Structure 1
Amino acid sequence: MAEIKPIRAWRYNSELSKNIGDLTSPLFDVVSDKQRKALYQNDFNSIHISVPEGPDPSQRAYELLERWKADGIILQDKLPAIYVYYQYFRMSGSPKEYCRKGFICHIKAYDWNENVILRHENTIPTAVNDRIALLEKTQFHSSPTHGLYSDQNFELEKYMDEAILAPIYETEDYQGVRDVLAVIHDGHAITRFIDFIQDKTIILADGHHRYESSLVYRKRMLEKSQDAKGDEGFNYHLMYFTNTESDDLRILPTHRLINSLPSFNEDEIINRLQEDFIIKPVDDSTILNETIAGKQWAFGLLFKENAYKVRLKPEAIEKLRWPFPKEVRRLDLTVMHYFIIEKALGIPGKDQRQSEHISFDRSFSDCLKKVIQNEAQMAIITNEVSIEEVKQVCHSGYTMPQKSTYFYPKVICGFLYSSIKEEEFTSPIYSPF
């Protein structure tokens, strides 16, 4: 049972929110150093809460947050609500405008073994520790993670479509995406959301580190609170929900760059690949990504002077020795990490996650530029993962290789915050929620 609750969001006061675009920021794990420096110049930008500065960043965020509350910079909404969040965007090379529809609310922070919320990636401990410290100190969620539910009948979209006609915020973000926020206060509609989601399984699309921090914090609080009833604020997590059945759910590929690998030799790499791959030189490296598009187990290899399309021979899949179920074994990314990165490049699978020789880039043009300018020895270009593959892997109980998915666009920080501090989390007596 997936238990969700409406939230009494904290939002910027009406004077500041007139320029809401000046207050929003990218998520902590995608914001660049250049963006941070610019955003820090605005004393009220959400970056100060989501990615605080200083030697003790969580303490700094806590003190700033308390000052914002006391000074009325942010105010808590009077009524619990479901917040509707639409993102309008275009993809490169396509005239179509997409609209990813979703809503934001609290969800119970379920342990992974409860199989209510499913992950498709593992977390990196150091990144989780940073998020735990921030959550523990502030008891505040500065941005929602991204969860997926499945509904072929689009039951909730009619409520969201009606609400979005009267938006409370609208801005264009750093991605060139138009972000629109609206609110649902109607009790009947909120109950419909609660009832509808309760029998769903949720796939965590983005925000594994932030969700993991909620799990750790909840466990710590339960150890301290022997008389906890289960409805305390520390039991809940802020999430943005979207429907997997929508055609507007986009997943971008994440390419691999190889850097500073000792004894790197292009000819030797190609020779090692010949046993398992069909290899074709590509004269125009600028269209390498197009030559592999939509083809299973096909990859582009970019070197400084040459480019190749390589495609795994169908019979070679039986040579894959990693002990994964078929849902994971047959993924393009598993094939890439085993046959190319381990067998051809010599980086063992157990070392790849922390390898200093592997980096990631979602931009094909950036990969091309870095290889040409000797900032990388080679790039491995891959196709995107499908949502069906994500579902299959999640339900198998396994996870995907690192950096498998990049759900686009990313949500932004600053539209709203949620508190799990008990006196701010509890619904007012006049609310049925």
Structure 2
Amino acid sequence: MPKIKPFRGIHPSQANAGQVVINLENLSISDAKVIRQGNPYSFVNMLVPKLDNLFLMGSKNELAFKKINENFEDFLEKGIYVRDAKPAIYVYQVVRSGLVQTGIWTITSIDDYLNNVVKKHELTSADREQSLIDYLQQTGIDANPVLITYPAVEQIESIIRETTIKQAEIHFSKEESEHRLWKIDDEVTLNNLLNEFSKLSATYIADGHHRAAAASLLGIQRRKLNLKHKGNEEYNFFTSVYMSTDQLRIYGFNRLVKDLNGLSTNDILKSLEKNFLIKESGKPVNPEDIHEFGMYLEGNWYQIRAKSEIIQTNNPLAKLDVSILQDYILSPVLNISDPRTDLRISYRGGKLPLTDLVNEVDTGKFDVAFILYPTGIEQLLEVADEGEVMPPKSTWFEPKFDVGLLIHQIN
């Protein structure tokens, strides 16, 4: 039973929304600077601010955070951003390529993360956590929501449907996607929604483990420093979007490997014969079912299917395709024992065309590509329920949220 609560969201005005929000996926520093120069309304000003005077006292990070805070206050003063008068819970909807995904945008207690009420399935990196903690601590801007999922509940879906038939508070289109945001601030609907969420038996982080971890670690620090801590302060919560499992889409995370561990193509194929059925294909192999893989090696495609005897049906982690690939190919054949740290392996997620992976092999950047069938949402929930951790780069979830649409301020 997750603990959520309404909050006074800060969002762009309807007139500015399309200019403010930004997609962070694959955004480089140089790209951010170009956007900042051409669009003074972009949220990138709260990420990569222009420093007017580098000779001021303080480190570059200190000056950057100071400028971010100045920019944020400037956005509020000019009406680029608007703070809602009443605490609310929001409904967010994104439409891309005809796919409509809708969920509840709220804030979630850090205790739910710490106590595993919101279940995790991914390890986090201390370095990445610290950079997020520093940003939150210095700016108070909690703008990139954690994606949380749950088995669909009709009562919650009914509230979403009743809300989305009304006119949205914010509606804009950008980069072939359409975004809408509705506000729920009437007491009756809020209480109904809070009541339904309190009944949820299980919720799961789909995307955003580092953001949830960073917010929770900062919240613990703030609690220790606040002698009047009550538990309802904003630092006890992090921004989150709840979407039922049927709203999410998972795409495969494919692998590229450099260096065949001194093996020839024939050596590799012979090594795989013990545990896999192998069939050469005259066309690209995009797996159509679990336990099937595509392999592109020396200009040829192969369809590889795991033999039934290596599939551990009673082990939710070991039966994942990412685990089978690691345990029976990457580790024993190609000598990649730790895919988290081995520099020979690289990952390509989402909807990247297979032709891009082929090109990376054909140009010699990598030697072999492995194409995986997407991990199923049921598989992920099963692993999380067992308290296990998914192998690295197991899932590519959509939606990926644009940043700057709705801000929870923790200071």
Work out whether the TM-score is over 0.5: yes
The corresponding residue for 1:36 is 32
CA positional deviation for 1:385: 0.9
Structure 1 pair 313–53 and aligned structure 2 pair: CA distance change class (3 A): farther
CA offsets 1:248-275 (integer angstroms, 9 cap, x no match): 4211111011135663633322222122
Q: How far is 1:19 from its partner?
A: 4.0
* 8 A Cα contact 1:304 1:374, kept in partner: no
Equivalent position amino acid for 2:303 in 1: K
2:224 counterpart of 1:233: no
| Aligned-residue offset at 1:353 | 0.4
The equivalent residue for 2:195 is: 195
Instruction: Name the structure 2 match of 1:148.
Output: 149
- 1:79–1:227: structure 2 CA closer, same or farther, 3 Å change rule? closer
Equivalent residue pairs, number: 395
Deviations 1:166-185 (A, max 9, x none): 012223344x3222111112
Find 1:384's aligned residue among 374, 379, 393. Answer: 374
Per-residue CA distance 1:214-262 (angstroms, 9 max, x = gap): 0110111122124411111110110011112x2x421111101113566
Instruction: Name the counterpart of 2:54.
Output: none
Residues 83-118 of structure 1, C-alpha deviations (whole Å, 9 max, x = no match)? 11112223xxxxxx3211101111101264512111
1:51, 1:381 → 2: CA distance? Answer: 35
Amino acid at match of 2:334: L
Matches within 5 A, 1:204-283: 204-244=205-245, 246=246, 248-260=247-259, 263=262, 265-283=264-282
Q: What amino acid is the match of 1:194?
A: L
Which residue of structure 1 lines up, in the alignment, with residue 94 of structure 2?
A: 87
Quote the Cα distance in structure 1 between the aligned partners of 2:21 and 2:212. Answer: 21
Partner of 1:429: none
1:89 partner amino acid: R
Identity of aligned residues (%): 26
Tell me the secondary structure at the aligned position of residue 80 of structure 1.
coil
Distance in 2 separating the partners of 1:392 and 1:310: 25
Q: Partner letter of residue 292 of structure 2?
A: A
Is the contact made by 1:25 and 1:39 (CA closer than 8 Å) also made in structure 2? no
Q: Which residue of 2 aligns with 1:18?
A: 15
User: Hey, what's the Cα distance between the residues in 1 that align with 2:29 and 2:324?
Assistant: 33
The letter for the 1-side match of 2:109 is: K
Structure 2 CA distance, aligned partners of 1:162 and 1:272? Answer: 57
User: Structure 2: how far apart are the matches of 1:89 and 1:72?
Assistant: 29
3-state SS of the aligned residue for 1:129? helix
Inter-partner Cα distance in structure 1 for 2:343 and 2:325: 18
Q: Give, in angstroms, the shift of residue 58 of structure 1.
A: 3.7
Out of 270, 291, 295, the residue aligned to residue 297 of structure 1 is: 291
Q: Give a deviation string over 1:155-208, Cα, whole Å, max 9, x none.
A: 12222223223012223344x322211111221111111111123222011111
Q: Deviations over 1:316-372 (max 9, x none)?
A: 346x9xxxx811011111111111111111111xx2102211111121332122222
Q: What CA distance in whole angstroms lies between the structure 2 residues aligned with 1:21 and 1:130?
A: 27
C-alpha distance in structure 2 between counterparts of 1:142 and 1:264, whole Å: 48
Q: Secondary structure at the match of 2:76?
A: helix
Identify if the C-alpha distance between structure 1 residues 261 and 7 changes in structure 2 by more than 3 Å, giving closer, same or farther. farther
Q: Secondary structure at 1:328's aligned position in 2?
A: coil
Letter of the aligned partner of 1:327 in structure 2? P
Asked if structure 1 preserves the Cα contact closer than 8 Å seen for 2:113 and 2:216, the reply is no
SS at match of 1:122: coil
For residues 411-426 of structure 1, what are the structure 2 equivalents within 5 Å?
A: 411-421=401-411
1:431 matched residue in structure 2: none
TM-score under structure 1 length normalisation: 0.85
**CA 1:198 to 1:163, structure 2 compared with 1: closer, same or farther past 3 Å?**
same
User: The residue matched to 2:332 in structure 1 has which SS?
Assistant: helix
Which amino acid is the alignment partner of residue 322 of structure 2? L
Q: Any conservation in 1 of the 2:3–2:112 contact (CA below 8 Å)? A: no
Counterpart secondary structure, 1:263 = coil
Distance (Å, rounded) in 1 between the aligned partners of 2:30 and 2:293: 32
Trace 1:49-60 onto structure 2 (pairs within 5 A).
49-50=46-47, 55-56=60-61, 57-60=64-67
Please give the alpha-carbon distance, in whole angstroms, between the structure 1 residues aligned to 2:128 and 2:306: 35
SS in 1 for 2:155: coil
Question: Which residue does the alignment assign to 1:75?
Answer: 82
TM-score, normalization by structure 2:
0.89
The Cα offsets for residues 110-158 of structure 1, whole Å up to 9 and x where unpaired, read as 2645121111111122221111100011112112111112234x21222
Cα deviation, 1:380-402, whole Å, max 9, x if unaligned, reads 10011111111101110011111
**1-structure distance, mates of 2:101, 2:119:** 21
Map of 1:424 onto structure 2: none
Alpha-carbon distance, 1:37 to partner: 4.0
Structure-1 residue corresponding to 2:120:
119
CA contact (8 A) 1:83 1:103 kept: yes
Where structure 2 has 5 or more consecutive residues not aligned to the other structure, the ranges are 52-59
